[in-house]
Every structure is written in C-alpha cells, then in structure tokens.
Structure 1
Amino acid sequence: MFIKNLKLESKFNVFLLIIFIIGSILTSSLLLQVLERNAEIEVTSKAKLIVQTMNSIRDYTTSNIQPLLDARLEVESAFIPETVPAFSATEVFQRLRKNEAYRNFFYKEATLNPTNLRDKVDKFETNLVEKFRNDPATKELSGFQDLPGGKVFYIARPLIVKKESCLRCHSTPDRAPKSQIATYGSENGFGWKLGEIVAAQVISVPAEEIIDRAQDALKIIMGVLLGVFGAILLTINYLLRRAVIRPIRKMVKTAEAVSLGDMDAEFEHQSSDEIGLLSTAFGRMKSSLKISMNLLAPPDEKTP
C-alpha cells in the first residue's frame, strides 16, 4: 500500500485529509437539509399568512358585503361581483401584487366549473382538486413546483360548498340572479351541490431566492470550515515537525553515526514524553553497545 512508503508527516496529512473529506460530506449534507428545512418553513409561513388573509376577506365579504348588496342582484342590469367572496379575495390580492415585493406571488381559487372563467382550473390545479375529492380527509396539500419564472412553494386547500345560500348562484340557472345570467350567461358555474368540493384555494410563493440564500449560506459555512481545517492542518504540521519529526530525525542521524563507530554521538532530547523516553532508551543501548564492544576488544584497544 502506497501509504506505507510515505513519510510520517505525509501519512498524518493523508489521514487528516480523508477525515476532512468524510466530515465535509456529512456536514454539508446535514447543513443542506437544515437550511432547506428552514427555507421551507419560511416560505410556508408566508404562504399561510396570505391564505389566512384571503380567508378573512372572504368571511368579511360573506358576512358584511353580501347582505348589503344581495337585494340589488335582481334589479341591476349587471352582476355585482363584489358580493362574491372569491372575487373580493382575488381582487385584493391583485392589488397586493402591484407591490414589487409581492409581484411573483400568486393566488387563485381554482374551480372546476366556475362562473367567471378566469377561475378555471389548469392541469396542475385539476389534479389538486381531484386529490381533495378522492380523499376528503385531506385538508391541505403543499410542495415545490418548477415554473418558467423559477421554483415556487404552493399551498392548496379544498373549497367546499358549505352553505345553502351558495347554491342560489350555482345550482341551476333559473334560481340564479338575473344580473348574473346577464353578465356571465347560463352555461358556466352551475350544478354545484351542498358539501361538494368544487375548487382548490391555491397560493404560490416564490422560493428561488430563499433557496439561493440557503445555498449561499451553505457555501459560506463550508468555506469557513475549509479555512478552519487549513489552519488546523498547518498548526498540526508545525507541532508535528517540532515535537516529533525533528527529534526523530536527530535520533536517526545519531543512530547512523553510532552504527558507523562514532561512540561520542549523543542522543539528546530533553523531555519526558515518549520521544524523550525513546532517546533515553537509545542512549542506554549505545552505552551497552560500547561496553560490549570494549569487552570484546583486544587489551591494548580497550578504552578506560
């Protein structure tokens, strides 16, 4: 194995690099999950705030506006759309979108069979309504969707015909106000039933910028970790050379000198750590070797 042929300092660097790579992969994966989760929480909170606001507008229209204008629906030549909760919520939201900060936000009460065709479901919205119909226990659907303008986070909730009063405009054309027929005709928006899920309330919040911020944060964190690792690697290398590599190299040179017959060479390392103990052991070994060689030498060559 090639690691066996590396010097001690290189082996330490290889091991540290492997640890850093594994740690970086695990850390980046965990951080990405945390940052993406935080991004989802942020866009979810924005979406739910708008949904709650739109529902408040719907409730206000139903309880305060409809009673005031309801009688006029039979006598006016044109239908008064402000009496419809969906119309009020949509119009208010369109005004909100004129603010640059909310330009890419979208709100729609996507309806399978709407009176106003601007509320007609598209393919994606049809799928949402069908999911609610197939599983009435589902109260909310959410997720990310890729659109031409970027990734968005959507929340969808079912809209159910809960009140008998709603069927006045949506059961049969003969029950509908005359102004409604005059404005929208008798082809669309009828046949609804009490308790039926007829639409999905959908709010879309741009998520591209928030996700980009999360990814930028990940890059910064990983950059900081890389910098910290570099500083640690340099520090460990410096301490390794000073406390281990240099003393070992000195002992290697001394051992080579002793092996060549220089008995005056000394193993010098003034410390009580493992390197110091090794130096002391080599010193004792040199002394034992010197004594053994002196005993084996001829009388005239023995040293005192």
Structure 2
Amino acid sequence: SISVYFSIYFALTFIVASIVIVAIVNRSMRNEALSDAREKANVILERNLATHHYFSQELKPKLFDTFAGSQSPDYFEPTWMSSTYAIRQIDKYFNSNSEYSNYYYKECAVNARSPQNEADDYERAFIEELNKDPDLRQRSEIREFDGQAYFVSLHRGERMEQSCLRCHSTPDKAPGDLVKQYGDQRSFNRSDGNIVSAISVRIPLANAYAATRATTIKLSALLLAILSLMLTAIYIFTKKTVMLRASKLEDLNQQLVAEISERKEAEAKAERDARLTQILLDSMPCVAMLLSPKTRKIAALNETAYKAGARVGQTCFGSWARHDEHCPFCMAPELWESGVAQHIEVEFGGVFWDAHWLPISDDLYMHYAFDITDRKQTENALFQSEERFRRAIVDSPFPTMLHAEDGEILQINRVWTKLTGYEPEEIPTLSAWTERAYGERKDVVKSRIDNIFDCDTTVEEGEYVISSKDGRMLTWDFSSAPLGTLPDGRRLVISMATDVSERKQAENALQVKTHDLGERVKELNCLYGLSKLVDRYDSLEDILRELVEMIASGWQYPEVTCCKINALGNEYKSSGFEHTEWKQSATIIVNDQASGSIEVFYKRQCPQAYEGPFLKEERELINAITELLGRTISHKQANEALIESEKSLAMAQRITHLGNWDWDIQRNEMYWSDEVYRIFGVEVQAFPPSYDAFLSTVHPDDREFVEESVNKALDERKPVSSIDHRIVLPDGSERM
C-alpha cells in the first residue's frame, strides 16, 4: 500500500509539474512568436518609412529640380511622384515570395486615392479614434482572418499639411493628370491638420503557433516517457527495500491506531456529551444552568443565563441573583434531600419566575427558570376583564343571557329576571326557557337558537313574542353573537334583547299615518331640494336645469311624470319629456310680473283626483314651487345688482381715496372697506379689523383725544362729529 500510495503521489506530483512546465514552455514560445512578429512588423514599418523618407527627401526633390520648367502643371507620374504608390508596388514584389505571401502591409485611408489603400471597418475605426485622441499612436492585437491567427499592428499615419493640399483639397487645384488617372472623387476635400491615414501591418502567426504545438507535444511525450521510467524504478526500489521495513512498521502502526482510536472515542464521547448538554441548554427558551450541588457553582449555561448575569465558575446566587448568600426561596436543598425535581413560582427583583430544579447526576443538577411576568400580568388583566365583563352583563340595562351549545344557561342578568319574572333556577336550560316563554312554538325557537352556534358573526334574530311569568305578552328584539369556547370545549353565545313592546304599539299607530306623511314628505323633499339648489348654485340657469329634473319626484306617479319650465326667456325640459293632455301648470311671478311658467305632465292616463289626475296637494305644491322660484329669481337678480353696486362703490372709494367702516359695538365686530386698509398703509384684508387695531394706528399724541370723542358719542348716543387726527403708517410716516 505504501508503495502504491507513494507511486500515485509521485506520479500526480510529476504530472502536475509536467503540466506546469509544458504550459510555461508553451506560453514562452507563444510570447516569443508574438515578440518575433512584433519585431518583423516594426522592420517592415521602418523599411517602408525609410522608403517614404528617400522619396520625399532625395528622389522627388532632385527629379523636380531636373524637370523644372520642362513639365506642365498638370503633369503627374505616380512611379516617382507618389511614394505610397511605389511602396504598394514594392510590397507586391515582396508578397510574390511564397515565404512572405501572407504578410500584409497597407497604408490605409478613408476615401483613399487608390481603392487598394481604402481602409476596412477596423482600420477606419482606428483612423477616427486618431482624430479624436491626439495621444493615440499605435495599437496591436491578435486577430483571425480566414481562420488563421495574425499579429495586427496599426500605427498613426501622415497628418495633412499645407503642402499636401495641392493634390488633396479640391480637384480643380490638383494636377490634371492626377485627376485623369484617379478621378475627381477620391482623396479630395482634406483639411489641414487632419490625420488621413494609418499604417496597417499583419504578420502571420500560424507557422509559429504550429511549431509551438509540435514542441509542446514532443515535450509532453518526453516527460511521459521519463515518468514511466521513474515509476518503474520506484516500484523496483520499494519492492526490495521499503516493503521489508514497512511490514514491521505495519504491526506497530496497528497497535498505535488501536490505542489512538480508543482515546479518540473516549474524547469524542466526552465532547459529544458536553455538546449535547450545551445544545440542550441553548434550546431552552429561558435561563438555564448546570450547577454543582456542593458549591452551587455554574458548570455550564445558555446565552439567556449569560445575558442575565450568570457566569461559569461562579455561584448562581453570586453572579445571577447578585447576593452574598443563596436565595431564600431556593429549592436546591430539597432537591438534594429527596432526589425529586422541585418547582415554584416566585416574584424576585420585580420579575415573576417559574423556577425548576432538576437532578442530573450525583455531582450535577439543572436549574432553569422562565420569566412569566407577562403571563402573570396577562392573567391579572384577564381576571379583571372577566370581572368587568361579568358586571357588564349583570348590570346591563338590556335583558342578557349567556348559554352553551349543550343548552346550559350559564347566566341571566337582573333585567331579564325583572321583565320576565323568571329566576335563574327556574330556567337552568334553554329547553326550560323556551317551554315557559314560547309554549307551543318552543321547538321551532329552540332549533333557531341552536343554529346560532354555527355562525361566526353577530346574528340579528329579529322580534319574538314571549310570555312572562305573570302571563303578560312581551315583544323582544333578539340579537346573538359567538364568544368563543369554554375551557371544556363547549361553544359559548351571548344573547341580548330589547323590549320593544311599547314601540310595537306605537308603530301600529304610526302605520295609519305613514301613507299620508309619505306623500307630504315627497312634496317637502321637492321644496327642500329647490332650496338646496338655491344654496348650491349662483347661476339661475343651473338652478332651473337641475329643478326641472327634480320636480317629478314630488308627484304621486314620478315614474310617468315629466316637466317643462319657461323662465328667463329659455325653455327647460326634463329627460324623456312628452307633451300630453294630462297637464298641470302654474305661473312664475317675479316682482309682481308674470315671468314664466312651470308645467307638469303625466305621460299616461292616471286615476282621477282633485284636478284631473292630479291631487289637491299637488296643486298646492306646484303653486309653492312657482312662488319660491319667483322669490329666488328676484333675490338672485337683486344680489347681482348689489354686487355690481358694491364694485362701483369700491371703485369710487379708491378713486376718491375715501374709506368707510362699520362697528357692531355689542358683538365688537368691525368692517373696513378695502380703501380703509390702503389709507392705513397695509395690505387689503391683512388682518381682521377691530377697534383696537384702529386705535393702534392713531398717533400717540392724538389717541386720547380720539378715544374721548368716541366714548362721548357712545355715552350721549349721538353721532361723532367730524374730527381730525393723525395716523402712523407701518413705514413710520404720518398721515392726517
């Protein structure tokens, strides 16, 4: 086993190391290939830049000097006048060599003069970035073309200069032969300072990557062969030497393993017991501790006990209770003496505790306690609530009964006994009550009462006639509601009644007058509706438009009634208006003048009454409506005239700078016109007007004089004669 484990470990280690070595070699070779491609790209770039330099600095200047004056301005020969053309031709010869056929060099431009130099989308994007970012010089990355990897290098090209604009500004400024050869569309309209081209170089990486893969495979095979040889050598060595000693060590190891196993099992059991104990303590939702009976020192505790102040290694009374001696209510001595768990509920430190002492072993016991303060307060509140509820039932002014679903009557109140004459002991069950109160109807009523227990909301049972002990027949209006369940599981219902015997008698008397009053109510509602319309709307047109729809509700047959109003020179008709022979009308009088009419029609023939099919009360109603409407029109017209008059008065006061004020002395209320506020130099309606506010504006030297004049007029009940005095404006200036 040792030999196998060692061989596996060695093989895994060797394989991991081999993978790392192969990966490093592969990465290094790829980086070297990439570095070589970058150098080749720079060589090609520098070579072509040197060619440009030769053309621009040596060849073209000398040839221009040589042919000076012998060539026309339109002469253009690209073979020596365009270095780009020359480089493109040289690159063709260079690519004709099969070894360099995949090399790529292009001086690309947007709208290049020669289509062969036109930039593709990737190159065009780079040229646009060059014009946006003046710090951008070059960019390189690995891209794939036709499934082959290439090292791509883009470099900043030439910037358009003033001397270049002869051939690149507009076609009319360029040499004629150039325009003839390339046309008048491409590479024109350039601007001074624009970067118009970039140099794009691609170096193929396929061969370098293939060599890298081949080297990786060879290296992997070599390492695999070395691994096989080493594993064979290790196997032979361990077989002859290590295995002999391993056999002896195996015996010793088995003995040692057995001892360690026993020790671990003992430690695990102790740890498991301690963990289970702690889990038990932590799972308890209360203060919980394990203590020593002899010293009452804490051996273990839960988080709740720790938060309460208890500490391991200290006594429970010293750390938790903060006492020098054990607590007077402690039940631990009884626990030690009897060996039986102890329990007590006690108030300590303003808190109610449900305390327990539980024996665990001869040298250990558990003490745990629940904080039951909330429960005690709830129980006390519940007791008080139940007592209030009991008193509420007993003292209720309405007959009240509590009864359970098995028929037991738990309680009836004093009013129940007073009105019926039955004492609680006479009607202990619902059967006894229904027998006495309902006689032959007992079974029907008892069945209805039993159904109440299946409801979960208040049940309005309605009115029942019951028989009292002295034979009187009473009418009670019952309602019942569920109250939950009793401790023994029985459902509980409370039933209350209202003695409506006198009300029923009154209702019978009222029924005689109900029909007549109903008709009068409709009429009053119609008149009331008109008054509400007057309060709601300022416009007479709105009032009339609503009124014509409302009038039908006041007549005996509103469903076949329609109406028409002629007033203010307009005609208003109700919805579904029909002109029929059954008509009732009245004239609207405004300021003793006939000003319109109201006409009410029945759409079909109705029974004959006082005035054809119309009642006498309906004649009085239509007269009342026309009278009230006439007064309303007159009042509204007068109101409009008053508003116009007040507007004219306010305008006149503002023009003459004359204000008026009224003082209701009994109510101490005062009215100021807007111009009074302006005279006093304050915003209109800036504050409620008052006599004190008026006096505060009077100059201090004149205030006593003004008050004496006003008081004299009040005492003598004579008007105040005209007086002159000064007032002080808010800005401190004075006005007479």
TM bracket, shorter-chain basis: 0.7 to 0.9
Shift of 1:8: 1.5
1:199 corresponds to: 197
Separation in structure 2 between the aligned mates of residue 23 and residue 207 of structure 1, nearest angstrom: 28
- The two structures have a TM-score, normalised by structure 1, of 0.74
1:136 corresponds to: 134
2:215 corresponds to: 217
**Residues 1:109 and 2:107 aligned together:** yes
Higher mean alpha-carbon deviation, 209-218 vs 133-142, is at: 133-142
In the alignment, which of 29, 32, 43 is matched to residue 23 of structure 2?
29
1:231 corresponds to: 229
Larger RCO: Structure 1 or Structure 2 (Cα < 8 Å, ≥ 6 residues apart)? 1
In the alignment, which of 7, 10, 25 is matched to residue 13 of structure 1?
7
Q: Is the 8 A contact 1:110 1:120 kept in 2?
A: yes
Matched to 2:73, the amino acid is E
Q: Is the 8 A contact 2:11 2:227 kept in 1?
A: no
Shift of 1:73: 6.5
Residues 1-304 of structure 1: pairs in structure 2 closer than 5 A: 7-67=1-61, 68-69=63-64, 72=71, 74-76=73-75, 79-148=77-146, 150-161=148-159, 163-249=161-247
Q: Higher strand fraction: Structure 1 or Structure 2?
A: 2
- State the aligned residue count: 247
Q: Is the 8 A contact 1:57 1:85 kept in 2?
A: yes
Separation in structure 1 between the aligned mates of residue 113 and residue 24 of structure 2, nearest angstrom: 49
| CA separation of 1:43 and 1:239: change in aligned 2, threshold 3 A | same
Separation in structure 2 between the aligned mates of residue 73 and residue 204 of structure 1, nearest angstrom: 40
2:447 corresponds to: none
How far does the alpha carbon of each residue in 1:171-196 deviate from its partner, in whole angstroms, 9 at most, with x for none?
Answer: 22222111111211211111222321
Separation in structure 1 between the aligned mates of residue 77 and residue 94 of structure 2, nearest angstrom: 24
- The two structures have a TM-score, normalised by structure 2, of 0.32
Shift of 1:120: 0.9
SS state at 2:190 partner: coil
Separation in structure 1 between the aligned mates of residue 151 and residue 80 of structure 2, nearest angstrom: 29
Q: Is the 8 A contact 1:74 1:179 kept in 2?
A: no
How far does the alpha carbon of each residue in 1:16-44 deviate from its partner, in whole angstroms, 9 at most, with x for none?
Answer: 12212322332233222211111101111
Separation in structure 1 between the aligned mates of residue 135 and residue 105 of structure 2, nearest angstrom: 23
SS state at 2:196 partner: strand
Q: Is the 8 A contact 2:154 2:201 kept in 1?
A: yes
Higher mean alpha-carbon deviation, 117-126 vs 161-170, is at: 161-170
Q: Is the 8 A contact 1:152 1:207 kept in 2?
A: yes
Q: Is the 8 A contact 2:107 2:117 kept in 1?
A: yes
Separation in structure 2 between the aligned mates of residue 204 and residue 248 of structure 1, nearest angstrom: 64
SS state at 1:201 partner: strand
Runs of 4+ in 1 over 4 A off after TM superposition: none
Q: Is the 8 A contact 1:111 1:198 kept in 2?
A: yes
Q: Higher helix fraction: Structure 1 or Structure 2?
A: 1
Matched to 1:115, the amino acid is R
| CA separation of 1:178 and 1:197: change in aligned 2, threshold 3 A | same
Q: Is the 8 A contact 1:129 1:198 kept in 2?
A: yes
Separation in structure 2 between the aligned mates of residue 193 and residue 40 of structure 1, nearest angstrom: 37
Shift of 1:75: 4.5
How far does the alpha carbon of each residue in 1:243-288 deviate from its partner, in whole angstroms, 9 at most, with x for none?
Answer: 2114545x59xx9xxxxxxxxxxxxxxxxxxxxxx9xxxxxxxxxx
Q: Is the 8 A contact 1:154 1:204 kept in 2?
A: yes
Unaligned runs of 5+ in 1: 1-6, 256-277, 279-304
Identity of aligned residues (%): 22
Q: Is the 8 A contact 2:144 2:150 kept in 1?
A: yes
Shift of 1:203: 1.3
Shift of 1:96: 0.9
Separation in structure 2 between the aligned mates of residue 181 and residue 162 of structure 1, nearest angstrom: 19
Shift of 1:127: 2.2
Greater Rg by CA: 2
